Structure 1
């Protein structure tokens, strides 16, 4: 996963934030929490990982479904982590594959502006 510098004119300074080791899954959807840490769902990894702004692995939330697709904070106080999953292409999917999973009290999310379009 890479990070960029940004300003009103665009992005520059591409550089790696973290390397996901082989066999751990592939980065899919992600969110940023109130501490500036990146939470990333790992497709075929059955987990969501939290990385600090320095790129250090801080936390791993292991899930029973192999195909985690995205994550976002919600609920009262934005402290629950919601994780979407997929069941596509699995020969024998876990019963929860394709579900929306909730990890209560996982962290603290940021408020998001309402969609204007």
Structure 2
């Protein structure tokens, strides 16, 4: 199980016990770095990699949670990227949300697609959602 701590700029993992619903063994899997500024929403692909929306960064980055290595980056025409999720019949489309909140007229003129929903084909598939007990 993964948790994004936006204000600390990292992603943490926990072990999850399906029977009890307990979490344990907290660890940082993607530490704070220049590339890890303002992580926000996240999706997991079929290879177990994390696709992280970077608020203020104008991109979604794909990270290997076992090595902390940056694998891929999708640049977008908006800066405030809020979340992402795999969808479509084959789970091969990454839907990416953005925000326009707090942007003045000048900022909106530079990024007129702020607040839009984007759909990209990253070349990987997502996994179906998993329901946790508890």
Please tell me the TM-score bracket, short chain as reference.
0.7 to 0.9
Q: 2:23 aligned with 1:6, yes or no?
A: no
Q: Indicate how the Cα distance of structure 1 residues 100 and 106 shifts in structure 2: closer, same or farther if over 3 A, else same.
A: farther
Query: For the residues of structure 1 that align with 2:129 and 2:52, how far apart are their CA atoms?
Result: 18
How large is the RMSD of aligned CA atoms in angstroms?
A: 1.9
Of 13-22 and 29-38, the range deviating more from structure 2: 13-22
Q: TM-score, normalised by structure 2?
A: 0.77
Deviations 1:69-88 (A, max 9, x none): 01011123111110000000
Match of 1:29 among 26, 37, 41: 41
2:129 corresponds to 1:112: yes
How many aligned positions are there? 114
- Partner Cα separation in structure 2 for residue 26 and residue 105 of structure 1: 21
Kept in 2: contact 1:24–1:45 (CA 8 A): no
* CA-CA distance at 1:112 after TM superposition: 2.9
Are the structure 2 counterparts of residues 69 and 21 from structure 1 closer, same or farther at C-alpha, using a change threshold of 3 Å? same
What's the CA shift for 1:24?
5.2
Structure 2: unaligned runs, 5 residues or longer: 1-10
Which moves more between the two structures, 40-49 or 73-82?
Answer: 73-82
| Residues 84 and 95 in structure 2, CA contact (< 8 A), matched pair in contact too | yes
| Contact in 2 for aligned 1:81/1:106 (Cα 8 Å) | no
**Which residue in the other structure is 1:80 paired with?**
93
Going by fraction, where is helix more abundant, 1 or 2?
Answer: 2
